[in-house]
Structure 1
């Protein structure tokens, strides 16, 4: 399958909303639930406009992973740009029906290729849960280095988990 990255735009609102609704239960197994309000189109669209504004200010970059016919099959975000240490945090999610097919690995690689040609970002941090072996593999296959595992568990949707921290550097 051929995939491509696209910067988030307001015109993506409706299709991204449907992507999030279709994958809500699946995503909630790995990341905190965004709450009922997020799944009301008006609220979702307002948040999307905020993200677009944040992106236009250079504070974050939001990518959509699309298949060859333009269907959204994943998201990758670079957020919390820190000017002092030239770093951002990476996050991603792939639709349930596309997980396990290498889409996350390809998408992250494309983001890293894009970042490599930018002067302002030198380091990318990422974290996942200790039991999310697939996400760990995506990061390691893209050159991220394991940094640490939090000794204390955090509560994620009612389940106690340990977070693992990774870092990528140019």
Structure 2
């Protein structure tokens, strides 16, 4: 396994549209089994620009923390804290993907650690939840390495690649939350 030195997480920017379009296009088949069906616009710079605009609007509303994953300055994936809920829950859901070329080297593991650190220390969340498809063992391993505990199974939880799919549910609780 190659070193994961140089992996960073930062807020999504408008200028990420073009590199994201190239990345999702290059990884279209690799990501297909793990994602919803995407229309053709998703794979274009304009499509990514719209996604970024929507994400940044939700970010200003405190509902989403939209980030990119960089390895030595090169964009290699996305990671978000989605569905941020305040009040009695103080929770969000982490979702992430990395390019095929970044897989197997600990990039996703470091990115999830960074996003959880932001969620707990900057956003002051009590809990971060995650879900993976039942057969996505690599993603489950990323979560386990970051101290997430498996808490259940959600039948037909997400429509992935055109099919309602079961998901394993995970969570990590911020023990320092007051």
Fold-level match, TM-score > 0.5? yes
Q: What pairs up with 1:43-122 in 2 under 5 angstroms?
A: 43-68=47-72, 70-84=73-87, 85-118=89-122, 120-122=124-126
Instruction: Specify the alignment match of 2:31 in structure 1.
Output: 27
Per mean C-alpha deviation after superposition, the further-off stretch among 147-156 and 89-98 is 147-156
RMSD: 1.8
Say whether residues 1:124 and 2:110 are aligned partners. Answer: no
Q: Which runs of 5+ in 2 are unaligned?
A: none
**1:41 deviation in Å?**
2.8
CA separation in 1, counterparts of 2:170 and 2:155?
Answer: 15
1:36 corresponds to which of 40, 58, 65: 40
- Superimposed CA distance per residue, residues 8-58 of structure 1 (whole angstroms, 9 cap, x where no aligned partner): 011211111211111111111112122222223323312211111111222
Between the aligned partners of 1:153 and 1:16, the Cα distance in structure 2 is 27
Gaps of 5+ in 1: none
1:152 Cα offset (Å) = 4.9
Q: Does residue 176 of structure 2 align to residue 168 of structure 1?
A: no
Deviation per residue, 1:48-106 (Å, 9 max, x gap): 111111112221111111121x2111111111111121111110001011111111111
Greater than 3 Å deviation, 4+ residue runs = 151-155, 158-161
Aligned to 1:133: 137
Tell me the matched-pair count.
Answer: 169
Aligned match for 1:9, one of 13, 37, 43: 13
